[in-house]
């Protein structure tokens, strides 16, 4: 049980914050001096060019957020799969879409923007991403589905070969959410290249930031042109304001693009810093009944955006979570995410629970959820009541299990080794 009083950090050690270098100011100043304080300008065109080159796609479109890119990706995929909708109706209206379950809701909400019905696919052990076996089972249950949205959790690529093969077999369209994995590679190729329509994010906590912003990535010229048009309120090529289809105010600011433009040369440096943090935690936790978030290093090179840990099942003290609060019972030699997060907070550090699976979110509790065994709804309820095992002895609802036992550690790349050592001490003390 955690009982020690460690010295607090004078300044808070955050989960992940922007790491600025000074180059950003030059491009912000350029936007100011040239008076391009709008959603057009050299910074935007340079960001689009640099991102397309870095990721390895033909086209990139700068947008106000990664969520905007995901929304327009859903619109494109729905049109491709089901045809142009009537005005005022989403192109996915009434159609099911297979989605990563363990992710931030920005991956999923755009499906609903377009009238679609998210169907959540359970998580696998090796990378904590979409389980290809569960995806295959989902197509057996819902063979009519034609759109799949796959996210790469915490900067670790999922099993793209297996997922891509299943998607192709069923004539579906893959949308890749690489918001957290910019710079990560799978078999030598950057994430953001594997789907028909792909997204990276420059939100304030991402490995490269503009404070906000995102990019739509594709090899389709037609798709890029559509996104560029839709994101500027779908204005037609007329001298006056002519609108013939629904549009959105989704363009990137030239000022924000200046920040991103100044950040991009430091991507590899940031990844190296994040990797060092992960490795330091891994070494520091030796001997504890915990594991770091898994990575398929044989096939991929993550960007190590967030370092996470998961507590061994037999080392978990009792923990109960409600909708907004959590309680735990201290137990000698054991701990739980709630205790560890409270301990980190007590020294002015910031951790966070693992993403709560989407199928557990109140807004999506009536949506289908598929495990490798089939319908996962009963499994989730049974797990909460005490656990349900499959024939291989593993929990059928893997995402819930990771959520219950896992947490995100402070992973800011400005954190010093000395600060990280204190966090490691605090975590170790929780198991005393």
Residue 277, judged by CB atoms within 10 A of its CB (0-12, 13-18, 19+), counts as: buried
Helices (H), 267-394: 267-284, 337-346, 377-385
Residue 417: how many other CB atoms lie within 10 Å: 10
Which long-range CB contacts under 8 A does 186-189 form with residues at least 24 apart?
A: 186/157, 186/160, 186/299, 186/300, 187/160, 187/161, 187/299, 187/300, 189/56
CA distances from 46 to 27, 172, 222, 223, 254 (A): 11, 33, 20, 20, 10
Handedness of CA 164, 97, 120, 230 (dihedral sign): positive
**Following CA atoms 59, 63, 65, 67 in sequence, which dihedral angle do they give, to the nearest 10 degrees?**
-60
SS3 287: coil
Give, for 76, the enclosing helix (H) or strand (E).
Answer: helix 66-82
State the DSSP code for 211. B
β-partners of residue 375 are 370
Neighbours of 303 (CB within 10 A): 29
Q: Is 350 in contact with 14 (CB distance < 8 Å)?
A: yes
Active site residue 137: no
Tokens representing residue 27 in the block: 């491009």
Cα–Cα–Cα angle for 20, 25, 28, nearest 5°?
125
- Catalytically annotated residue among 206, 226, 274, 334: 206
**Chain centroid to CA 368:** 21
Which residues, in sequence order, are CB contacts of 182 under 8 Å at separation 6+? 55, 191, 192, 200, 201, 206, 207, 208, 267, 303
Q: What would the two tokens of residue 352 be?
A: 């966070």
- Cite the active site residues: 206
């Amino acid at each position: 049980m955690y009982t020690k009083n460690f010295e607090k950090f004078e300044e808070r050690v955050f989960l992940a914050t922007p790491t600025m270098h000074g180059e950003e100011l030059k491009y912000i100043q350029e936007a100011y001096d040239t008076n391009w304080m709008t959603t057009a300008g050299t910074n935007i065109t340079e960001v689009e060019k640099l991102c397309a080159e870095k990721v390895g796609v033909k086209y990139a479109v700068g947008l106000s957020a990664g969520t905007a890119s995901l929304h327009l990706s859903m619109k494109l995929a729905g049109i491709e799969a089901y045809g142009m909708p009537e005005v005022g109706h989403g192109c996915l209206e009434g159609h099911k879409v297979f989605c990563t379950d363990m992710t931030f809701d920005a991956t999923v909400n755009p499906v609903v923007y377009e009238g679609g019905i998210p169907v959540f696919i359970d998580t696998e052990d090796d990378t904590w991403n979409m389980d290809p076996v569960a995806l295959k089972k989902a197509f057996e249950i819902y063979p009519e589905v034609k759109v799949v949205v796959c996210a790469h959790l915490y900067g670790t690529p999922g099993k793209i070969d297996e997922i891509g093969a299943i998607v192709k077999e069923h004539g579906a369209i893959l949308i890749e959410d690489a918001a957290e994995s910019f710079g990560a590679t799978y078999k030598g190729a950057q994430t953001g290249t594997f789907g028909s329509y792909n997204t990276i994010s420059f939100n304030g906590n991402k490995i490269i930031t503009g404070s906000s912003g995102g990019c739509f990535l594709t090899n389709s010229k037609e798709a890029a042109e559509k996104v560029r048009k839709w994101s500027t309120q779908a204005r037609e090529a007329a001298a006056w304001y002519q609108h013939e289809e629904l549009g959105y105010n989704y363009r990137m600011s030239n000022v924000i693009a200046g920040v991103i433009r100044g950040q991009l040369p430091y991507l590899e440096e940031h990844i190296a810093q994040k990797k060092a943090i992960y490795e330091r935690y891994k070494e520091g936790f030796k001997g504890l009944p915990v594991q770091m978030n898994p990575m398929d290093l044989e096939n991929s090179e993550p960007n190590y955006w967030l370092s996470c840990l998961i507590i061994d099942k037999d080392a978990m003290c009792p923990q109960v979570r409600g909708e907004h609060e959590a309680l735990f019972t201290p137990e000698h030699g054991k701990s739980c995410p709630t205790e560890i997060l409270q301990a980190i907070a007590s020294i002015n550090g910031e951790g966070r629970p693992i993403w709560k699976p989407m199928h557990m979110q109140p807004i999506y509790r009536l949506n289908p959820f598929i495990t490798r065994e089939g319908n996962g709804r009963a499994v989730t309820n049974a797990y909460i009541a005490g656990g349900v095992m499959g024939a291989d002895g593993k929990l059928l609802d893997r995402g819930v299990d990771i959520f219950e036992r896992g947490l995100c550690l402070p992973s800011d790349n400005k954190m010093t080794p000395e600060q990280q050592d204190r966090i490691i001490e605090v975590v170790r003390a929780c198991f005393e």
